[in-house]
Amino acid sequence: MIVYYYRNADQLSPERLEELIACLPQQQQEIVARMKSHRHRCEQTIAYIMLCHAIKSRRIRIADTFHLIRNFETEHLTQRYLKRNPPLWAFGEHGKPYITNYEGIYFNISHCNEAVAVAVSNREVGIDVEGRRKFSDTLLQRAFSDEEQKVVHNSGDPQKDFACIWTRKEAWFKYTGTGILMDHLKTTETDAKATGCVISTVPIFNADQGHYDFWLSYVEKRR
């Protein structure tokens, strides 16, 4: 599996964004055109370029047993990977996209205020990225198991631990392609285990600011 993430996507200038959009395949241009905010247009465009980069520059590694997680550098935002046979999308019943013109390659995309991320694998995959976020006791009680609630309540940084656990839940539902099912939020870990899946979580550290910016969680079948 390859996972790329890109920080602060909305800092891309409008001029540079339009240059990149003009190089996207028509399907992707239409998807981006439906985005209302500059940030969402940046996220969609960058995520698609990361997908193309993963497929075309490191395709052999997609089938490797280890997980490659990389910060996607701004200099990689080029048209190079968009020119020949770009991946085309179709959408499942609940809106999860899949690739139609590359056999045996699966992907998933996520974004939050801090970053946009894409996971590419040779098997079905789900990914979620999440930064620190406020939460209510009502949501905690409704969505978290008793053990997960204890982790948050006993934490020295509740927002951090809430985000870490929440991103595992979202990654699982993105793997299944169903969207969030409230009656299964408390059983995410056992549901994943029962189907032979592994949920992995990686904290992304910001060396400049000296703290963790966000958490990446991704789901695959056990190899």
What pLDDT score was predicted for residue 133? Answer: 85
**Tokens, residue 57:** 């520059």
- Are the C-beta atoms of residues 101 and 87 closer than 8 Å to each other? yes
pLDDT at 198 over 90: yes
Mean pLDDT lowest among 25-29, 90-94, 179-183 = 179-183
Q: Which residues share a beta bridge with 71?
A: 5
Q: What is the pLDDT of residues 29-85, one digit of tens each?
A: 999 999 999 999 999 999 999 999 998 876 656 666 668 889 998 888 888 888 888
- Are the C-beta atoms of residues 11 and 55 closer than 8 Å to each other? no
Percent of the chain with pLDDT over 70: 96
DSSP single-letter state for residue 80? G
C-alpha to C-alpha distances, 152 to 37, 135, 141, 167, nearest whole angstrom:
33, 11, 11, 14
What pLDDT score was predicted for residue 60? Answer: 53
What pLDDT score was predicted for residue 65? Answer: 61
Q: How confident is the model at residue 94 (pLDDT cuts 50, 70, 90)?
A: confident
In whole angstroms, give the CA distance from residue 90 to residue 83: 20
Q: How confident is the model at residue 10 (pLDDT cuts 50, 70, 90)?
A: very high
- Are the C-beta atoms of residues 43 and 9 closer than 8 Å to each other? yes
> At how many degrees (to 10) do helices 26-33 and 14-23 cross?
140
Who's near 138: CB < 8 A, 6+ residues apart?
none
Stated pTM of the model: 0.92
What pLDDT score was predicted for residue 63? Answer: 67
**Tokens, residue 117:** 């991320």
- What are the two backbone dihedrals, phi and then psi, of residue 210, each rounded to the nearest 5 degrees? 75, 30
Q: Which domains does the chain have, with CATH numbers?
A: 1-109 (3.90.470), 124-223 (3.90.470.20)
